[in-house]
Amino acid sequence: EPEVTQTPSHQVTQMGQEVILRCVPISNHLYFYWYRQILGQKVEFLVSFYNNEISEKSEIFDDQFSVERPDGSNFTLKIRSTKLEDSAMYFCASSEQGLQADTQYFGPGTRLTVL
């Protein structure tokens, strides 16, 4: 069964450093998403991406964050200057037709630790 994959599974970085989290969505899916989950808290929406542009973003997704689909298979989340409070699990998700007709399938997550 096709699945969303994410690398790395765990990333440790120093505060102020840039990190790139990588995702390979399910191959025929057109909608891509990033969510995060701070330990013990809710899963929170960050951004949705369709047709090579951001379609929706939350107030969390400020100028420190960016997303990109650099080729036909990868989808990345970049955090330019990490803060301690960016420590969380980051989940990528994808959807074939978007939430109006389909649902979202999640990857296993990347655990980001900012020291």
Partner 1 sequence: QKEVEQDPGPLSVPEGAIVSLNCTYSNSAFQYFMWYRQYSRKGPELLMYTYSSGNKEDGRFTAQVDKSSKYISLFIRDSQPSDSATYLCAITQGGSEKLVFGKGTKLTVNP
Instruction: Please say whether the dihedral angle defined by the alpha carbons of residues 47, 50, 53 and 56, taken in this order, is positive or negative.
Output: negative
Q: Which of 25, 30, 36, 32 is nearest to 91 (CA)?
A: 36
Site string (32-51) toward partner 1, x via CB under 8 A? -x-x-----xxxxx--x-x-
Separation in Å, CA 94 to CA 88, 101, 115: 20, 13, 30
- Contact in structure between 79 and 103 (CB atoms under 8 Å): no
Site string (49-88) toward partner 1, x via CB under 8 A? -x----xx-x------------------------------
| CB 35 to partner 1: min, Å | 8
| CB 57 to partner 1: min, Å | 9
The residues binding partner 1 (CB under 8 A) are 4, 31, 33, 35, 41-45, 48, 50, 55-56, 58, 89, 91, 95, 98-100, 103-109, 111
